[in-house]
A = this chain, B = another copy of it.
Amino acid sequence: MEAIPYLAAASSVMGLMLAAYFYSSVRAADPGDERMVFLMTEIQKGARAFLKKEYTWVSGFVAAMAVLIALLIAPTAALTYVLGAVLSATAGYVGMTVATMANARTTQAAKEGPGKALPIAFRGGAVMGFSVAGLALGGLMLVYILFVLVLGVEDAFEVVTAYGLGASSIALFSRVGGGIYTKAADVGADLVGKVEAGIPEDDPRNPATIADNVGDNVGDVAGMGADLFESYAGSIIAPISLVAFALGLGAEDASVATNISLLSFPIAIAFVGMLASILGSFLVKGGDSTDTKALSRALHMGTNSAMAITAVATVGIAYWLFGSDSAFDNPLGLAIAVVGGLVVGWALGKTAEYYTSDHFGPVKKIAGQTETGPATTILGGISAGMISVAASVVLLAVGVALAYWGGEMAFDSIGNLDGGIYGIAVAAIGMLATLGVVVSVDAYGPIADNAGGIAEMAELDPSVREVTDALDSLGNTTAAVAKGFAVGSAALTALALFKSFEFAVVQAGGTLSLNIGEVDVFVGLFLGAMLPFLFAALTIDAVGRAAQEMIEEVRRQFREIPGLREGEPGVNPDSARCVEISTEASLKEMLIPGALAVVVPLVIGFVNINALGGFLAGALVSGFCLAIFMANAGGAWDNAKKYIEAGALGGKGSDNHKAAVVGDTVGDPFKDTSGPAMNILIKVMTIVSLVFASAFVG
């Protein structure tokens, strides 16, 4: 049992080696003709430039936080905080680099059909998947082994938690900054290009096309990578912190048998999940068939096998760790909690799919509502999004109850640690243990999307675009599952961190009332429920302002560059300027909402710690509801538009289509900026509070 952290560290190295292997195999593929290489390089340059600038800006924030942590908590905690931030940033950078390499190679392979292109896109995604999982787990195990097991520093578990805060900081800024970038470029390119100049999407004449493709990479790839790095690390840290703070553990207690079991359980699942993911990734094979159903099966095969293996292994781990210790009643309960979490995460994803895929009623209904114009289309999406909140909250409540019940079955309580609460804390790890392969499939989507963009911009044969479109649409259902995991695990992790916060305050010698019958807690609850609304408004406005700058630049180029709109040979737009504008605007706009998430809980915590407790709970429930609402309303509009574009209700160019485009544009910042950032917002605020708990009390 003592070997578990070491095994997990070893598995993370294996994951990283796999990432390196996939990287070299993607690199070896043919990137296509000169024009394609040029486009790929442009996108890569733009994405790199953005990330470099973003990391420069964010490093200022990280440095300030590190100083604060060093002064108020412990210098070692500042160190792990920086490590978490650096590794998360690295994972994003690596993933983005390979994604921008894999795009043109996927396009090139698509000339030979989907069976050839699928593996390249998947392996590109897998580099990201295993970099994220490997770095997150490896870094965490390094911190755990070094500070808890080897050095046994004071406040060892605060030091571990600070690693998570580092990851959260990067995730928050990446999601917000990347989200603003991608939508500013997208909206800017669409409004002037498609609507005003009347040229198709991804047309090489549009100066914002490169920026739009860069945006896919910095938002959907780097942003999502940092997000999932944080979720994954958070889901392992949350139960560890909970155990440590509830039982008041110091480093020396980490070698007591019962404590080892409790602390190692989530790590052991992560270990098995990593191995299962590595195995699963080899099950994704293109084969010779070009049938999309067969391809879809191939893609799902990897994730489904990895999850099944992990679920079965979890039962074994539970019995192995808890079976012989009399402190525990029935180890099966903890396996139920973990697998239950996995099932609920899956169901949340399926719910999202039901409300956002054009195979089901809700999106078809919204498409039908385009008949009476954009207003009814908007109302339809809003109502579908809000109803999906109800379904998702009920599912989550079932998941929480199930995990609690499972935990109670395993043990009633050990010290201050309630079995049910431990059950909730470990429930998120089930969803995220197979992160390596889940992200591979998820990051595959934007690569296929970009491949399509390159096919268009390089003016290749339309048959190539058809292949990349088919690949792109394949990724949608798996992306839904990843989204469900992200949002479900966010709620469970935040809940566990919230409980840890409660214990941390008590451990630090403070008292904390979480009784909503008391006025300070209730006022905090109110303020917390409000914050996600403010955050959503700020990010929506940010996208609007950034898009406006982009629109003006595109208009200027069409006006000032002769022959550009007409597509005269040799006349190229100044794409680099558009990339620059998106970069500057999105970074400037990222600061206020990002800082809000860190500053507000700190201010409230130093004023009144009970109010902070209420605040975190309010933000958690209201943020979850808004996250689901925005993500699903946005997704529903997007697919209603695609449904019409595929030929339904008059197809492209009809009034219905115009109404659907309005819905899609409203949904863009919903689903790609505000919504996804909300999941991190919830966790950042909770983990900031947890790390600074002792400072609030002191």
**Interface set of A (CB-CB < 8 Å, partner B):** 191, 195, 369, 372-376, 378-380, 382-387, 389-390, 393-394, 396-397, 400-401, 404, 420-421, 424, 495, 498-499, 502, 514-517, 519, 521-523, 525-531, 533-534, 536-538, 540-541, 543-544, 548, 551, 613-614, 617-618, 621-622, 624-625, 629, 661-663, 665-666, 669
Interface centre among A385, A498, A625 (most CB of B within 10 A): A625
Which chain B residues lie closer than 8 Å to A522 at the CB level? 400, 495, 617
Identical copies of this chain, number: 2
* Contact (Cβ within 8 A) B386 A526: no
CA distance A195 to B374 in the complex (A): 13
Which chain B residues lie closer than 8 Å to A663 at the CB level? 375
How far does the Cβ of A644 sit from chain B's closest Cβ, in whole Å?
Answer: 16
The residue on B at minimum CB distance from A531 is: B390
How far does the Cβ of A351 sit from chain B's closest Cβ, in whole Å?
Answer: 13
* Contact (Cβ within 8 A) B376 A533: no
CA distance A533 to B390 in the complex (A): 7
How far does the Cβ of A185 sit from chain B's closest Cβ, in whole Å?
Answer: 15
Which chain B residues lie closer than 8 Å to A548 at the CB level? 372
**Given A383-B536, A393-B530, A397-B527, 12 additional A-B pairs, CB 8 A:** A195-B373, A378-B662, A379-B665, A383-B537, A383-B544, A385-B537, A387-B534, A390-B530, A421-B519, A495-B522, A528-B621, A621-B622
Report, nearest first, the 4 A-B pairs whose CB atoms are least far apart: A375-B665, A386-B537, A393-B530, A529-B621
Which chain B residues lie closer than 8 Å to A383 at the CB level? 536-538, 540-541, 544
- 21 residue pairs bridging A and B, Cβ less than 8 Å apart: A195-B373, A372-B548, A374-B375, A375-B666, A376-B665, A380-B544, A383-B540, A386-B536, A390-B537, A396-B526, A400-B519, A401-B523, A404-B519, A495-B522, A514-B516, A516-B525, A525-B617, A525-B621, A526-B621, A529-B625, A618-B621
Q: A625-B622, A662-B373 are in contact. Are A397 and B526 (CB under 8 A)?
A: yes
* Contact (Cβ within 8 A) B621 A534: no
Partner of A515, one of B400, B514, B544: B514
Interface centre among A394, A401, A526, A669 (most CB of B within 10 A): A526
The residue on B at minimum CB distance from A536 is: B386
* Contact (Cβ within 8 A) B379 A622: no
CA distance A373 to B547 in the complex (A): 13
* Contact (Cβ within 8 A) A519 B424: yes
CA distance A517 to B396 in the complex (A): 17
Partner of A527, one of B374, B393, B523: B393
CA distance A529 to B117 in the complex (A): 45
* Contact (Cβ within 8 A) B375 A530: no
CA distance A284 to B359 in the complex (A): 61
* Contact (Cβ within 8 A) A540 B382: yes
Which chain B residues lie closer than 8 Å to A372 at the CB level? 191, 548, 551
Which chain B residues lie closer than 8 Å to A661 at the CB level? 375
Which chain B residues lie closer than 8 Å to A386 at the CB level? 533-534, 536-537, 540
How far does the Cβ of A245 sit from chain B's closest Cβ, in whole Å?
Answer: 13
Which chain B residues lie closer than 8 Å to A393 at the CB level? 526-527, 529-530
Partner of A669, one of B379, B384, B618: B379
The residue on B at minimum CB distance from A535 is: B386
How far does the Cβ of A282 sit from chain B's closest Cβ, in whole Å?
Answer: 40
Which chain B residues lie closer than 8 Å to A528 at the CB level? 621
CA distance A404 to B663 in the complex (A): 45
Partner of A400, one of B424, B523, B537, B538: B523
Which chain B residues lie closer than 8 Å to A499 at the CB level? 517
Which chain B residues lie closer than 8 Å to A629 at the CB level? 533
The residue on B at minimum CB distance from A389 is: B533
Partner of A389, one of B376, B378, B530, B669: B530
* Contact (Cβ within 8 A) B519 A516: no
* Contact (Cβ within 8 A) A374 B376: no
CA distance A544 to B514 in the complex (A): 41
CA distance A571 to B230 in the complex (A): 69
* Contact (Cβ within 8 A) A534 B390: yes
CA distance A164 to B521 in the complex (A): 27
CA distance A400 to B502 in the complex (A): 25
* Contact (Cβ within 8 A) B191 A373: yes
Partner of A530, one of B502, B521, B625: B625
Which chain B residues lie closer than 8 Å to A515 at the CB level? 514-516
Which chain B residues lie closer than 8 Å to A624 at the CB level? 526, 529
How far does the Cβ of A615 sit from chain B's closest Cβ, in whole Å?
Answer: 11
* Contact (Cβ within 8 A) B544 A617: no
CA distance A538 to B665 in the complex (A): 24
How far does the Cβ of A137 sit from chain B's closest Cβ, in whole Å?
Answer: 29
Which chain B residues lie closer than 8 Å to A544 at the CB level? 369, 376, 379-380, 383
The residue on B at minimum CB distance from A192 is: B372
Which chain B residues lie closer than 8 Å to A527 at the CB level? 393-394, 397
Q: A380-B544, A537-B386, A544-B379 are in contact. Are A529 and B662 (CB under 8 A)?
A: no
How far does the Cβ of A146 sit from chain B's closest Cβ, in whole Å?
Answer: 32
CA distance A624 to B530 in the complex (A): 9
How far does the Cβ of A536 sit from chain B's closest Cβ, in whole Å?
Answer: 5
Which chain B residues lie closer than 8 Å to A662 at the CB level? 373-375, 378, 662
Which chain B residues lie closer than 8 Å to A621 at the CB level? 525-526, 528-530, 618, 622
Which chain B residues lie closer than 8 Å to A530 at the CB level? 389-390, 393-394, 621, 625
The residue on B at minimum CB distance from A405 is: B519
CA distance A538 to B389 in the complex (A): 12
CA distance A666 to B393 in the complex (A): 26
Which chain B residues lie closer than 8 Å to A622 at the CB level? 529, 621-622, 625
CA distance A393 to B537 in the complex (A): 15
Which chain B residues lie closer than 8 Å to A376 at the CB level? 544, 665
How far does the Cβ of A437 sit from chain B's closest Cβ, in whole Å?
Answer: 30
* Contact (Cβ within 8 A) B191 A516: no
The residue on B at minimum CB distance from A423 is: B519
* Contact (Cβ within 8 A) B420 A519: yes
CA distance A364 to B336 in the complex (A): 55
Partner of A397, one of B517, B523, B536: B523
* Contact (Cβ within 8 A) A625 B666: no
Which chain B residues lie closer than 8 Å to A517 at the CB level? 498-499, 502, 514, 613
CA distance A374 to B663 in the complex (A): 9
Which chain B residues lie closer than 8 Å to A379 at the CB level? 540, 543-544, 665-666, 669
How far does the Cβ of A347 sit from chain B's closest Cβ, in whole Å?
Answer: 16
CA distance A528 to B499 in the complex (A): 20
